[in-house]
Amino acid sequence: MAATLQETLLAPDIRPKVVADCQTLIEQEVSDKSGISGTAIKLAFKTVTTFASGIIHDAVDTLLPDMVAKLEPFWAEFSASGSSEFGDFLAKRGGEVSEALLSVTDARAANSTRAPIRKAYNTVRPSGVKNVEAALPRLGALVQKYAAA
């Protein structure tokens, strides 16, 4: 039986690599943003990273198990579909996948005791689905890199 995403991505020898790659993916996605909403995202990102250096790494590491759990059903469907690129598979289900992933960050933000982080998150959340959808091809490639290895 094939290993689950959780067994693969959260394995002690793989998890640190996944966390580092996710942090790079987030930085690339923020850097690629433009326009008024891009400026808001970059400002929120700068606020959060200035407030607590290392927070992106720590947040990714903390959220990873829940995010992987949200991706698991999509991975299972992808694996059964015979599709070749998980990023394309996710992108075709953009709204559904984005809402699933954002449910994790929504819960985390709602429970945060750090007002600046809640404020920054609430500033960018209205465009969250659009921004997560834009990242799905990269995210799918990242997941597939480890899960298909």
SS3 62: helix
The pLDDT, as a whole number, for residue 72 is 96
In the chain, what percentage of residues exceed pLDDT 70?
98
Look at residue 65 in the predicted model and tell me its pLDDT.
97
Average pLDDT for the chain: 90
Q: What is the pLDDT of residues 18-74, one digit of tens each?
A: 999 999 999 999 999 888 878 888 888 888 788 778 888 998 999 999 999 999 999
Tokens, residue 82: 């015979």
Question: Which token pair is 97?
Answer: 């996948």
Residues 6+ positions from 29 with CB-CB distance below 8 Å: 131, 134, 135, 138
Residue range 123-142: average pLDDT?
90
Average pLDDT for 102-125: 85
138 in Cβ contact with 29 (< 8 Å): yes
Residue 78's contacts (CB-CB under 8 Å, 6 or more residues apart) are 86, 89, 90
Query: Which residues have C-beta within 8 Å of that of residue 57, sequence separation ≥ 6?
Result: 19, 20, 23
Residues 6+ apart with CB under 8 A from 37: 127
pLDDT confidence bin for 2, thresholds 50/70/90:
low
Q: What is the average pLDDT across 121-145?
A: 90
